[in-house]
């Protein structure tokens, strides 16, 4: 069956299926029950699965993630919702010092099948702490896996795959794209979770993005095509581990690479990718790998977010610079 | 019924349970009843002259007028969001009036009423919600810190500030605001431990408005919040948060004790969030209209008006003048909001550090150059 779904609704259906498929799945978060979450991602789930499976938690993120550890030790599969990206930090200690390390410390005796869902990124006109892109902190932490979805189909399948996966996963949801729609084949075969994907073929420049920036990269490719430039766009989908073989293959053809993310450029994902592409494709490169990202500043008040966020023009500007080498 | 039910069931399943009229609830300090009668309390009294009473009434009315105007501005697309104080005017105005000039307040994001009493211009609060800045006022000059959106973080700052006051042997106290939901945060519990352990001159002022967005107080606490203080080793008191006189009395006493070296107090101002959590919220999804109707009968402003009128402290002319002043304020806020200039793009960079590092300066220069390439440049 194919249905046209928003990313938000696809996540809702994916969570519903995970709750149906495995009685050990437990959703926990602030306002996720009666309210259905501030973005309504868990709408209706508490009503249908009960308040011991969809738990409105006390207002305490360290508690949400810390108790998930104990639940996981008892064989549950906790799915934690962090209400907004900027509020994950009270849980940061638990994530970095505990969740990430328990499998290693127990030499595999304790699995941590925990999913931390975080709506991330800007562009919704919010006040501070509601628009951040903290993925690099987590990708820098060995023991955590990090994925970012950009389409309804990936949202629907990805959340189920993440919940079924044995390792802890920070699952990033592009909040400003929650309302974007596409057809999802609910009976289809999902792509693997930890695989990047070429979403538009092209010959001149390879443009890499994930989460909310995939759409921006595709828009840039559309605009570039009108000027006779052919951009290949790759949705990285998985941030840790990275799946760069498709990227290397692409860059070997195009010789040029631009990485786009909302997070600040310094020590962002783009830095890691630039290093790897340079190490692996050095002889194919016609230009240095260029990065388009947030500035090295706090996320600004919303009146300035358009200036802060990478947009089509900034991607094209980087493409021009790449082509100019 | 699953094996878990007994652990997840709340003590009282009625949302907003713990209303003072329900059986089994502890008494709260009240000096002015919802009907506008002055009553005595064995431990607390307040010495307010007629002029101060009128001033309190004026502040209550004006902050509500500001709030209503801001909500309207948000609805019209002029603000990104607004966190309404509706219903909490007495808690905030009372607490604000209890502060001495040298005291310091650490608000959440909802204390517009305290901001007002501290002399912060409403437009400097509006600018945050419009997305222009992170609050336009000077926290040092006003004794009113910038808003803190990350739940509970400010309680530790307040405690540290109080430790500074203590070291300086200064005659001041600190008022840390928090919500009922915030009491669940680890950092808030750390703040109370620090304050207690070091006997810091800080008063925790918790507005229990019964909800943390959709989550009722029962999910945060199985005991009345003020009783938590005992476990930390300092006094806790529950006050009628819709009674401006009681809030003033209780907060004044707690701040005086703090200044006097007696350490912290936890005040639970028992109140109700009459509006949505913010303009993004839809409370019909999680609470009953009947609850709202009940709390309307305990309106914080109506009781003061009834008392002032009945006791002859204020007459119809006074009330009319305050209404008119409210209309003027609303008009000024509206105009000021519409006229508020957008920030310059370079603001993104300009205040990140006391000393801007060269790489950031270079990024700023690139930013300016990049935007100069577009029509109108950065200031578009
Ligand atoms: C650390 C953190 N987690 C989550 C949020 C999102 N959030 C904003 S307000 C709020 C509820 C706060 O409730 P309460 O402390 O009772 O204060 P109230 O808003 O009722 O005044 C939540 C969960 C946040 N701002 N910070």
Cβ burial of A241 (10 Å; 0-12, 13-18, 19+) is exposed
Sequence-distant (≥ 6) Cβ neighbours of residue A175 within 8 angstroms? A39, A84, A119, A120, A121, A124, A212
pLDDT at A5: 98
Q: From the CA of A83, how far away is ligand 1's center (Å)?
A: 10
Cβ–Cβ under 8 Å, residues A160 and A113: no
Annotated active-site residue B273? The verdict is yes
* 3-state secondary structure (DSSP) of residue B212: strand
pLDDT at B375: 66
The residue ranges of chain B whose pLDDT is under 70 are 1-24, 375-380
**A33 CA: distance to closest CA in chain B (Å):** 9
Residue B236's nearest CA partner among B264, B255, B195, B261 is: B264
Alpha helices in A95-244 (DSSP H): 102-105, 135-139, 152-164, 213-226
User: What distance lies between CA B113 and its chain's CA centroid?
Assistant: 7
Q: What distance in Å separates the CA atoms of residue A250 and residue A256, rounded to the nearest whole number? A: 9
Cβ–Cβ under 8 Å, residues A148 and A234: no
pLDDT at B376: 56
CB neighbourhood size of B49 (10 A): 9
CB neighbourhood size of B84 (10 A): 22
Mutation test of the interface with chain A: which of B126, B148, B179, B214, choosing the one with the most A Cβ atoms within 10 A?
Answer: B214
Ligand 1 closest atom vs CA B108 = 21
pLDDT at B23: 53
Q: What backbone torsions phi and psi does residue A275 show, to the nearest 5 degrees?
A: -65, -45
Sequence-distant (≥ 6) Cβ neighbours of residue B343 within 8 angstroms? A301, A303, A304, B132, B133
pLDDT at B374: 84
Q: Is the ipTM of this complex over 0.90?
A: yes
* H or E segment and range at residue A261: strand A257-264
pLDDT at B27: 85
Q: Please name each of the domains of chain A with its CATH number.
A: 2-185 (3.40.50.970), 197-323 (3.40.50.920)
Which of B2, B286, B352 shows the shortest C-beta gap to A297?
B352
Give strand pairing partners of B282.
Answer: none
pLDDT digits (tens, 9 = 90+) for B246-291: 999 999 999 999 999 999 999 999 999 999 999 999 999 999 999 9
Mutation test of the interface with chain A: which of B77, B81, B134, B215, choosing the one with the most A Cβ atoms within 10 A?
Answer: B215
Cβ–Cβ under 8 Å, residues B186 and A62: yes
Mutation test of the interface with chain B: which of A31, A62, A82, choosing the one with the most B Cβ atoms within 10 A?
Answer: A31
Q: How many helices (H) and strands (E) does chain B have?
A: 15, 7
Cβ–Cβ under 8 Å, residues A137 and A146: no
User: What is the DSSP secondary structure assignment for residue A190, as one 8-state letter?
Assistant: P
pLDDT digits (tens, 9 = 90+) for B288-327: 999 999 999 999 999 999 999 999 999 999 999 999 999 9
Q: From the CA of B207, how far away is ligand 1's center (Å)?
A: 12
Alpha helices in B38-185 (DSSP H): 50-75, 89-98, 112-117, 122-130, 139-142, 153-167
Of all residues in chain A, the one with the smallest CA distance to B283 is: A35
pLDDT along chain A (325 residues), means of 10: 97 98 98 98 98 98 98 98 98 98 98 98 98 98 98 98 98 98 96 98 98 98 97 98 98 98 98 98 98 98 98 97 96
**B343 CA: distance to closest CA in chain A (Å):** 7
Residue A314's nearest CA partner among A288, A293, A287 is: A293
B241 lines ligand 1 (CB under 6 A): no
Instruction: Give A 264-303 residues with CB within 8 A of chain B.
Output: 266, 295-298, 300-303
Catalytic hit among B228, B273, B298, B303 = B273
B179 lines ligand 1 (CB under 6 A): yes
CA angle A105, A111, A115 (to 5 degrees): 115
pLDDT at A287: 98
A contacts of B181 (beta carbons < 8 Å): 58-59
pLDDT at B14: 37
Q: What distance in Å separates the CA atoms of residue B169 and residue A107, rounded to the nearest whole number? A: 54
B274 lines ligand 1 (CB under 6 A): no
Residue B110's nearest CA partner among B212, B229, B36 is: B212
Residue with tokens 């108790």: A67
Q: What distance in Å separates the CA atoms of residue A225 and residue A219, rounded to the nearest whole number? A: 10
- Any A CB within 8 A of B356 CB: no
Q: From the CA of B151, how far away is ligand 1's center (Å)?
A: 5
Compute and round to an integer the Cα radius of gyration of chain A.
Answer: 19
A contacts of B281 (beta carbons < 8 Å): 38
**B360 CA: distance to closest CA in chain A (Å):** 7
Q: Please name each of the domains of chain B with its CATH number.
A: 50-338 (3.40.50.970), 344-380 (no CATH)
């Amino acid at each position: 069956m194919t249905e046209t779904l928003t990313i938000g609704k696809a996540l809702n259906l994916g969570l519903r299926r995970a709750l149906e498929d495995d009685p050990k799945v437990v959703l926990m978060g602030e306002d996720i029950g009666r309210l259905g979450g501030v973005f309504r991602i868990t709408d209706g789930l508490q009503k249908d699965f009960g308040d011991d499976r969809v738990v409105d938690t006390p207002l305490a993120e360290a508690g949400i993630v810390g108790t998930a550890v104990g639940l996981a030790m008892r064989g549950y599969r906790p799915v934690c919702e962090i209400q907004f990206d900027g509020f994950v930090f009270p849980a940061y200690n638990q994530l970095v010092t505990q969740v990430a390390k328990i499998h290693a410390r127990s030499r595999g005796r304790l699995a941590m099948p925990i999913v931390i869902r975080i709506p991330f990124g800007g562009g919704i006109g919010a006040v501070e702490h509601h628009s951040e892109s903290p993925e690099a902190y987590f990708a820098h932490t060995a023991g955590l896996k990090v994925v970012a979805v950009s389409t309804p189909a990936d949202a629907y399948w990805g959340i189920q795959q993440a919940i079924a996966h044995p390792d802890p996963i920070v699952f990033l949801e592009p909040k400003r794209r929650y309302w974007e729609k596409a057809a999802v084949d609910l009976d289809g075969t999902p792509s693997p979770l930890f695989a990047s994907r070429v979403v538009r073929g092209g010959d001149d420049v390879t443009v890499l993005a994930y989460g909310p920036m995939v759409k921006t990269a595709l828009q840039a490719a559309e605009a570039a095509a009108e000027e006779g430039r052919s951009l290949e766009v790759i949705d990285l989908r998985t941030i840790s581990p990275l799946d760069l073989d498709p990227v290397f293959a692409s860059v070997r053809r195009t010789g040029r690479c631009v990485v786009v993310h909302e997070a600040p450029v310094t020590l962002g994902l783009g830095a890691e990718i630039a290093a790897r592409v340079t190490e692996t494709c050095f002889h194919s490169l016609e230009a240095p790998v260029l990065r388009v990202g947030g500035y090295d500043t706090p996320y600004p008040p919303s009146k300035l977010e358009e200036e802060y966020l990478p947009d089509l023009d900034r991607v094209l500007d980087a493409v021009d610079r790449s082509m100019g080498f | 019924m699953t094996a878990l039910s007994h652990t997840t069931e709340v003590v009282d399943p009625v949302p907003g349970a713990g209303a003072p009229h329900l059986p089994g609830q502890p008494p709260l300090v009240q000096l002015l009843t919802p009907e506008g009668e002055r009553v005595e309390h064995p431990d607390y009294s307040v010495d307010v002259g007629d002029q101060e009473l009128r001033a309190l009434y004026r502040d209550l009315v004006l902050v509500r007028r500001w709030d209503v105007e801001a909500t309207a501005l948000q609805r019209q697309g002029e603000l990104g969001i607004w966190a309404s104080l509706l219903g909490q005017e007495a808690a905030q105005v009372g607490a604000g009036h209890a502060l001495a000039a040298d005291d310091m307040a650490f608000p959440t994001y909802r204390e517009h009423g305290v901001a007002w009493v501290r002399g912060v211009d409403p437009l400097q609060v509006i600018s945050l919600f419009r997305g222009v800045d992170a609050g336009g006022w000077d926290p040092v000059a006003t004794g009113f810190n910038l808003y803190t959106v990350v739940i509970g973080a400010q309680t530790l700052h307040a405690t540290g500030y109080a430790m500074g006051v203590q070291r300086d042997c200064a005659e001041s106290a600190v008022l840390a605001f928090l919500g009922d939901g915030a009491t669940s945060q680890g950092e808030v519990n750390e703040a109370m431990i620090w304050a207690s352990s070091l006997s810091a001159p800080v008063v925790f002022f918790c507005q229990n408005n019964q909800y943390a967005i959709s989550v009722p107080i029962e999910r945060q606490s199985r005991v009345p919040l003020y009783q938590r203080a005992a476990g930390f080793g300092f006094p806790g008191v529950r006050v009628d948060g819709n009674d401006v006189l009681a809030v003033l009395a209780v907060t004044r006493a707690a701040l005086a004790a703090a200044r006097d070296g007696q350490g912290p107090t936890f005040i639970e101002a028992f109140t109700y969030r009459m509006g949505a959590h913010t303009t993004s919220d839809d409370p019909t999804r999680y609470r009953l209209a009947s609850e709202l109707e009940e709390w309307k009968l305990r309106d914080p402003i109506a009781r003061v008006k009834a008392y002032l009128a009945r006791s002859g402290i204020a007459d119809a002319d006074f009330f009319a003048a305050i209404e008119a002043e409210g209309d003027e304020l609303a008009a000024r806020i509206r105009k000021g909001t519409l006229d508020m200039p957008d920030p310059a793009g370079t603001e993104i960079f300009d205040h990140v550090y006391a000393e801007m590092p060269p790489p950031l300066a270079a990024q700023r220069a690139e930013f300016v150059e990049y935007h100069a390439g577009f029509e109108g440049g950065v200031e578009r």
